[in-house]
Structure 1
């Protein structure tokens, strides 16, 4: 039996958990820029854009180990610190606007008493900076970051926000743009929806069998609206 986007009325949708980078915020270009700069600054081989986009969604330490399998702990720490300095402070790095449709989607969900949360591989400092810059901090009842929990696809951060929100998995949905988001959701037993405006291709995302895939958040909102009409 297929899992519906919106649960049945007697078990209504109560929580939507969003990834941040590549899902709500158009930040992959800045991430790639700063990963390449960090490699250059510490004298490591600079990986190409395709390799770097592939690891977006992992925690920074896990991403560095994926890119440099022979790296020791000291290298990982140095790379991660250099990357974070660039991402949080470099004035010449690409800007990171929200994707179109963020406010409308969040408004629609909140109007139906759906709680909102974030599960991201960003650091706590990075997420807090982004929430303040976008004015979205008050919208989310719970957030979890990559420096507070094991890296995706481990389900720990998703389980954390569900626990904080007091919502069981059957009444939650995960929205993400990477296979790591979808794998995390599967490991947590949470149905997931993919958006394809982020880092991973529709072909890769489809392999994870999400509830559905949409090109952007505006299309996702349309699907939510249609699902609501079908349940009326």
Structure 2
């Protein structure tokens, strides 16, 4: 007895922060350090969590209304200084992520990452987790348009040769789900990240899950025994 593949999706595009890695606390701490260093207004935890997923320039403009254009790059540099090395706030993969990604790869899914991180940040987390070889494509916000613009998904689709109807965007923020809708691909919303399911529901995700393992199990269920 074998199994007949019965799934719509071939390409799985993952957000990183809040979906693959539990890094919100570190992002909050590093944003606050950067703002204090440059004598910008105090940033609250809630405000910073709200913009996780955006590219840094877009995030700074929301967090600090009226910020001068010539302060964007210094803020980016200070944030990167802390996040890429000097801040001790721990970050780790969510439960089930490593095993789940490796299982999906073995089953023939094409895996990619679409994140608000910079290319340097992507390289660091790929190296620190040892997961770089799992993903065949990745895009960061400093090399394409920031979410919710669909450009990074369009670029990943072009690189992998997968049609939009066979791609699934997996994320924890409304920016991920809006980007998926803008790109014409399905979205899957995870509840354990930074935005509530209620914030993501207007973009009509095809599935909502409460753990990474639940997401993997749902994808596995799209096989029919024959």
Q: Does the alignment reach a TM-score above 0.5? A: yes
Distance 1:64 1:91 in 2: 19
2:90 matches 1:95: yes
- Paired with 1:51 and 1:10, the residues of 2 have a C-alpha distance of 42
TM normalised by structure 1 equals: 0.91
CA distance in 1 between counterparts of 2:186 and 2:86 reads: 37
Count of paired positions: 223
Is 1:126 aligned with 2:121? yes
Normalising by structure 2, we get a TM-score of: 0.93
Q: CA deviation at 1:12?
A: 4.2
Out of 8, 15, 18, the residue aligned to residue 11 of structure 2 is: 15
Hey, what does 1:219 align to over in structure 2? 214
2:57 — aligned with what? 61
SS across alignment from 2:74: helix
Could you list the runs of 4 or more consecutive aligned residues of structure 1 that deviate by over 3 angstroms after TM superposition? 8-12
How far off its partner does 1:107 sit? 2.4
Q: Which residue of 2 aligns with 1:81?
A: 77
Q: What is the deviation of 1:225? A: 2.6
How far 1:217 sits from its partner (Å)? 0.2
Say what the alpha-carbon RMSD is for the aligned residues: 1.7
Counterpart for residue 5 of structure 1: none
- Equivalent in the alignment of 1:70: 66
- Is the 8 Å Cα contact of residues 6 and 222 (structure 2) preserved in structure 1? no
2:38 to 26, 35, 42: 42
CA distance in 2 between counterparts of 1:175 and 1:85 reads 28
Deviation at 1:112, TM superposition (A): 2.2
- Asked whether the equivalents of residues 169 and 186 of structure 2 are also in contact (C-alpha less than 8 Å), the reply is yes
Structure 2 unaligned regions, length at least 5: none
Gaps of 5+ in 1: 1-7
